[in-house]
Amino acid sequence: MLFRDLIEKMVTEYHDRIAFIENNETTHTFQAINLNSNAIANGLKGNGLLKGDKIVMLSRNSHYYRDIFWAAGKAGFVFIPINYRLHPDEIVQIVNNADAQCLIISNNYEEVANQIRDRLTGVTQYYSIDSDIQGYEYLGRLIQSSSKEVLSEKLTEDDLLYFQYTSGTTGVPKGAVYTQHKIAKWVEEGLRMHPKTEKNYRSLQFLPLYAAGGFMYDIMYQSSGTEVVLMSKFDASEVLTKIEKYKIKEMHIVPVILSFLLENPNFDKYDLSSLDLITYGGSPMAPDLLKKGIDNIGPIFMQDYGASESHVLTILPKEDHILDGNPEKRRRLSSCGKPVEGVDVKVLDEIGEEVKVGEIGELTVKSDLVMKEYWKMPQETKECLKDGRFYTGDLCIVDEDGYIYIKDRKKDMIISGGMNIYPFEVEMVLLEHPNILDAAVIGVPDEKWGEAICALIVYNKNKGAIPENEDIIQFVRERIGSYKKPKMIISVDSIPRTASGKVMKKKIREEFWKGRDRKV
C-alpha cells in the first residue's frame, strides 16, 4: 500500500471540504491542496529534483506543509520538516546529515537560512512560501506556472517518504525514516483512532507541524476529513478566541499549554462549550492541573503516548480520567494508559523477558507503524531495533490491569550512592505543590554520591511568597523515599522544552557537567 494512493482516496471523498482555515481567514479545500501538490511535484521535478531527493522545510505552520508533503508522496521525494527553534549549527547538521537537495523556508527564517546557506553541502534548489525573499524562488509562482496534472511516477512501498528528526533531548538529533508503506499505515491507524468526521467538524492546530505530535495529528485530521483551523504559532488568547469563534470540537496539546490557557486573565470570558475532546501527550498531566482543566472545561481529556520513531502506542481514554472514586482508579491518571489496538507493546527486562507486575523494564513495541531505521546511523538503529521490536528507551512498570506507568527515560535515570532515582517521579511530586507551575529534575556532579538530585522550579508568582528551599525538600520527603528528595533547588523563569512538551534534559545538564569526561 502506498501513501500516494490514499491521497487520491482522501481527495475523492473530501473533495470540496475545507481542509484548512488559516490566520488570515484564507480557506483551502482538499481539492485545492491536491492541485497545489500536483503543481509542486511537477514544478520541482521540472527544475531537476529526482525521486528520492530530500526536501527540508524551515517554516512556521502553514497549509504548505501538507501541500509539500503530498507532493513528496506523489513524486517520490522525501519530506523533512525542521525545528525552527534549533541553533543554526544544528540546522546545518540536520540538513547535511539528510543529504538534502532542496530547502523551502518562510520569511520568518530568511536571516537564519542566509546565515547557513554557504554551509549546506548538497542543497541546489531554494524556495520560499512567501513572495518577498530575495534569492529564493516563490513557491506560489512555481504552482501557478506548473502543470496541475497528476504526476506519473513509479513508486514502491519501500520508497522513502518522510524523516522525523528526534528532539535530541538526550543526544544528537536522529532522523527517523518512514517509507510510503509506513505512512500509509499511519493513515489507516489515524482513521481507526479518529473516524471520519462530519462536514464543519473543526479541530484547532497550533502545535508545530515540524514536531512528531503536530505532524501525526495532521495525518489523523486529513484522513478523517477534519477541518483544521491552523495557527502559525501558539498564543493563549488567540487559542481561546478561535475556540469560541469557530466552535472548535477538539485540539491536541502538551500539558504546559493547559497551564497557559487556565492562567489567562480572561479565561472565564470565553465560551469553550463546543469542545468535545482535548488530547494531550509529551508527558502525563499533573493531577492538580488536570483537575483544574476538568473543573473549568469539562471531562473531555484523553492522553496518548508515542515517539518520533512510532505512531501513538498507548492511550488513556476519557473514561479513565477519574478524579474521584477509589485510589486505584485515581492512580491511573499517572499512567499512559493501555496499548492501542493492533500494537504489540511489551515491557522487557535487561535479558529481553517480560517483567512481572510492578517490576521496572523498558517499553518495547512491534508494529508496522514504527520507523524503518535512523538515517545513516546503523549503530543507533541496531541498539533500538532488536528482534523486530523497537526499544523506546522509556522505563516503565505495568499494573495488574495492564496500565503502563512511565517512570523515566533510561538515559535520564540518576544514580546517587548506588540508588536508581527516576527524575520523572520526583517531578510529579513537585508538581503537586500549589506554588509550583513547572519543574525539571536532573542529576548533577557530587563528589560523595556520584550524582545529586537537582530540581529546577518555576514558581507561580500569583500564589504569594516563594517557598523556602527546605520547605520544598520536606514536601518531597513526606511523599516519596527520602533518598529521592532534591539536594539542590534552583528557581527559574521557564523550563526549556521541545515542541512536543519534553524537557530538554541534555541542554539543562550541560551547564552542570561542563568540562567533565563523564556525564553520569
Query: Do residues 121 and 184 share a domain?
Result: yes
**How far is residue 449 CA from its own chain's centroid?**
35
Residue ending a domain, choose from 215, 236, 270: 215
Domain total in the chain? 3
Q: What is the mean pLDDT of the chain?
A: 91
51-60, 162-171, 499-508, range with the lowest pLDDT: 162-171
Q: Are 221 and 252 in contact (CB under 8 A)?
A: no
Calculate mean pLDDT across residues 329-350.
Answer: 91
- Closest alpha carbon to 221 in 341, 339, 61, 372: 61
Query: Do residues 26 and 142 share a domain?
Result: yes
Q: Please state the φ and ψ torsions of residue 449, each to the nearest 5 degrees.
A: -100, -5
Confidence of residue 518 (pLDDT cuts 50, 70, 90): very low
Instruction: Check whether 421 has a pLDDT greater than 90.
Output: no
User: pTM value?
Assistant: 0.84
Q: Are 483 and 452 in contact (CB under 8 A)?
A: no
Euclidean distance between the first and the last CA atom of the chain, given in angstroms as a whole number: 45
Instruction: Check whether 324 has a pLDDT greater than 90.
Output: no
Query: Do residues 49 and 183 share a domain?
Result: yes
Share of the chain above pLDDT 90, in %: 73
| Residue range 347-394, pLDDT digits in tens | 999 899 999 999 999 999 999 999 999 999 999 999 999 999 999 988
Residue ending a domain, choose from 352, 375, 408: 408
Structural domain including 443 reads: 413-513
| CB proximity list for 461: less than 8 A, separation 6 or greater | none
| Residue range 2-21, pLDDT digits in tens | 999 999 999 999 999 999 99
**How far is residue 101 CA from its own chain's centroid?**
25
Q: Are 360 and 395 in contact (CB under 8 A)?
A: yes
Alpha helices in 47-160 (DSSP H): 64-75, 88-97, 110-116, 139-145
**More confident call, 507 vs 295:** 295
Instruction: Check whether 209 has a pLDDT greater than 90.
Output: yes
Confidence of residue 473 (pLDDT cuts 50, 70, 90): very high
Q: Are 97 and 91 in contact (CB under 8 A)?
A: no
CATH of the domain at 505: 3.30.300.30
Record the cell numbers describing residue 353, joined without a space. 523477558
124-133: which pairs have CB atoms within 8 A and are 24 or more residues apart? Answer: 124/48, 125/44, 125/47, 125/48, 125/49, 125/101, 126/102, 127/102, 127/103, 128/104, 129/59, 129/62, 129/64, 129/104, 129/105, 130/106, 132/107, 133/105, 133/107
| Residue range 132-172, pLDDT digits in tens | 899 999 999 999 999 999 998 999 999 999 999 986 544 57
Confidence of residue 517 (pLDDT cuts 50, 70, 90): very low
Query: Do residues 451 and 417 share a domain?
Result: yes
CATH of the domain at 136: 3.40.50.12780
